[in-house]
Amino acid sequence: MSRKRKMSQSKKPSLPRRPIIQNLTFMGTELGCPLLVQDMDSMNKRGEEPPENADVKRFISFATIPACCLHSKGTGQDAQSADESAGYAMLDFFKLYISNGFRSKLLNCASDEEVKELIPQVQPLFEQFKAAIAADFLSISRCTQFELTPAARARGKELKKRVLTNLKNAGVGYTTVTPKKTLKNDDDDVEEDVPNETVDPSDAPGSSSSDDIVIVREVASEASPKLRKMREMDGAKKKLIEEATMRLGENRRSPSLDSDTYFGECQQLLHGPTEVYCARPESNQFVQQYEEANSTEASEDEDKEAVPMKRARVDIEEDDDDVIVLNMTTSSGVSDKKGSEDEIGDIVDEWDANDEEEKTDELEELEDDDIQIIEAGDQGNGVEEVSSTVISVETPNSSSDENKIYNGHQTHQIFREVRQLPVNYQARTIGVVLNERIAGSVEKFVNSITKKSFNSVKQLSKLAWDHYLGNAQPDFVFLKKMEARQKLFSEIKKLFPDTEIKLQTTGSTVNGCGSFNSDMDLCLCFPTNGYKGQVCDDFHCDRNYSTKILRKIDKAFRRSHWSHPLKKIIKTMQLVPAKVPIVKMILNGEFDGIEVDINVNNIAGIYNSHLIHYYSLTDARLPALALLVKHWAMVTGINNAQDGFLNSYTTILLVVHYLQCGVTPAVIPNLQYLFPHKFDRKLPLNELLLFGDIADKLPTSPPNTWSLGELLIGFFQYYNEFDFTNFGFSIRSGQVIPRENLPRDLINSPIVVEEPFDAINTARTVRDVSHMKSIKSAFRCAVQIISSNKNFTMRDLGVNVTEFD
């Protein structure tokens, strides 16, 4: 016995000067791949306590390198011995593919300086792993950090083989398909034989530093002719859809709704949007910037150009040429005809107070630098005539093919810089504050993808519109739902004869972002302060109170005779006592298949549906993009509130915020800033009218001409870079909110999205950081699919679309 014990002790290796796991941790940090140590029992059993006296099992890997490519396991009586066992297993890998001497030297390192001397030996291996992952070799981006499914293991095994092969022969690379040289008909473009490029890890999506300074001038490049042509075609589709929506709105609009009196004049303040409800007053830096700018402008000479304060009037000349000229009248009432570049294209020209009394149809005729908006007629393609607006500068040498938007300047950035406008001048005109930290890199990313994969972006735009046309809620479905709502209201009203109740339609049925098969959300407005409720505060939302009312409806249905009208309308009914109690119904008869959810006194849902409805009417790209993003989010599993992810409403707010603050110029304005009296929770419910003509009431603003495909790519990149850990956002104030300005009950929320009316967090369904990381991973995977594959398709993103002819 003693001999065996002595022999075993003599074979036991000597312990290193310090734990090997400490050396691996320092090495991973220096290489930009921190070491990750996981307990296997918690990974496999999802937090269940392991049995007593069981061995500890550890699992180690390096961040940014999926575990299916590189990991090791160890077992021991305690955590320290298990970590050492896993560390030795990782060293065995280095021994085989680097050198035996590297393993011995790393074991004997007693300080960080000694480990640092060995890093050059292992650095090529990690660089090859990063390059393979950045190039998305074998679609490795589909694998999460700790995924070890059979499919993931197969991908990781093949990727590791390619990495080791590339270490010996760097010319192998990580491309498997080389596009052939083909001749295209569009603009006679030739697609040359260029292999897919290996992505530099430093340029990989989402690798931007928090200290990056975005220089807007770097992305101010003029669009190519084929890109302008694609955007014009995309704008034509947008125009057709908006005209069709307008015609439907005229049929659905209440006769008492007069858009001129309903919306009134839009508000424009000098300081831009106010602070968010939960922000400290001193936290809004933009207010201070604009106040300082205003005080500076007041002291300047009248002849010196000041930062514009109001939108320009657009006067229409009644002639056969359909030419619209922007009013260039200065504050002195005299038209400036210097012809300097600084005076070209003043979209947001400064007004004098006396201008309000002048005739709105007065026209200033300019000589050589006339700014015109030309209506493009029929293109001769057999399609219904589409009027597309293009702003141009007419000079003796200019031609119709050289029409440029932004009043003669190649890009919006150049227009802004020439006019000496602040980056966030749109905060004063349409109430949105650009997210400067991300918007510049998003535009740069979209431009690079468009140049590299133009045909894919063009097809993506087409399929995005086809997706909207094929899945949007048609008019007959809307009318059928409204008829069903009226019949339900007639029967439910009989159950509460002593109360003046209302049954309001909310959600995707009326907000413009619904699909043909979406359910109908209804809010039963049951006043708690008086007989007849008027505004939001008249309806108290209490869970027990709501459950009591809904239980009465449920009992009435179950106890009614088969011939009762309720039985003829409703096939099934179920009471769901959730945090917000609802009754779920499936209708039958003439409304067969329509699913209905009824809540009690969730009044904020009525107001935000009214708001999103009008956002959808401002630009057709919003509902089209929102519907596509919702479909993508469902496919990826992040639009599932029951499992701790986003709900559909929060997904729509993500799109709204991106179109406000993530692109320049903004696609949509801040309606709560422009029309605060019409998008306010103090407005009576009976004044929340739909289908008003809001587009004509918006202030003049530089147009965003990005195609729907470009906006979709930018959406993925924006939230791939968005720092949810340190920021939230608010569409009510049109800006990003720093975490330190949030109330205490929201500081620890993984994602913060302010509800526009009651200032709660609509993303409260995201339960913990792991769910937030899964959401970020979904955006990152979408960006990697787009950036690593030149010929990416909508199907690669997980969305199958039926293509229309």
Rounded Cα–Cα distance for residues 469 and 659 (Å): 21
Q: Integer distance in angstroms from the first to the last C-alpha of the chain?
A: 85
Q: What percentage of residues in the chain have a pLDDT greater than 90? A: 33
Element (H, E) at 18: none
Beta-carbon contacts of 131 under 8 Å, excluding residues fewer than 6 positions away, are: 174, 198, 199, 200, 201
- Mean pLDDT, residues 632-658 taken together: 94
Integer-rounded Cα Rg, in Å, for the chain is 31
Task: List pLDDT tens digits, range 162-213.
Answer: 888 787 776 666 754 333 333 344 443 433 433 333 333 333 333 333 333 2
Q: How confident is the model at residue 761 (pLDDT cuts 50, 70, 90)?
A: very high
- Mean pLDDT, residues 47-53 taken together: 57
Strand partners, 393: 371
pLDDT of residue 529: 64
Rounded Cα–Cα distance for residues 216 and 71 (Å): 42
Q: Looking at the predicted structure, is the pLDDT value of residue 22 above 90?
A: no
Q: How confident is the model at residue 797 (pLDDT cuts 50, 70, 90)?
A: very high
Strand partners, 505: 522
Rounded Cα–Cα distance for residues 641 and 73 (Å): 35
Task: List pLDDT tens digits, range 456-512.
Answer: 999 999 999 999 999 999 999 999 999 999 999 999 999 998 888 899 999 999 999
Task: List pLDDT tens digits, range 264-298.
Answer: 777 766 556 654 433 333 333 333 433 444 444 44
Higher pLDDT, 64 or 626: 626
Higher pLDDT, 638 or 312: 638
- Mean pLDDT, residues 112-137 taken together: 85
Place of tokens 């200065």: 330
Rounded Cα–Cα distance for residues 129 and 139 (Å): 14
Beta-carbon contacts of 14 under 8 Å, excluding residues fewer than 6 positions away, are: none
Task: List pLDDT tens digits, range 731-756.
Answer: 999 999 998 888 777 888 999 999 99
Q: CA angle, corner 133, sides to 131 and 136, nearest 5?
A: 110
138 alpha carbon, distance to own chain's centre: 27
Query: What Å distances lie between residue 68 and 47, 300, 637, 710, CA to CA?
Result: 22, 65, 22, 33
Nearest to 741 by CA among 350, 340, 314, 283: 283
pLDDT of residue 412: 73
Rounded Cα–Cα distance for residues 54 and 514 (Å): 53
Q: Which residues of 667-688 are buried (b: 16+ CB within 10 A; e: fewer)?
A: bbbbbbbbbeebbeeebebeeb
- For the chain, list the domains and their CATH numbers: 20-41+54-167 (no CATH), 436-472+618-797 (1.10.1410.10)
Task: List pLDDT tens digits, range 542-552.
Answer: 888 899 999 99
3-state secondary structure of 182: strand
Q: Looking at the predicted structure, is the pLDDT value of residue 220 above 50?
A: no
Q: How confident is the model at residue 427 (pLDDT cuts 50, 70, 90)?
A: confident
Is the bond leading into 665 cis (omega within 30 degrees of zero)? Answer: yes
Query: What Å distances lie between residue 659 and 423, 553, 781, CA to CA?
Result: 16, 41, 21
Task: List pLDDT tens digits, range 697-717.
Answer: 888 888 899 999 999 999 999
Beta-carbon contacts of 91 under 8 Å, excluding residues fewer than 6 positions away, are: 20, 103, 106, 107
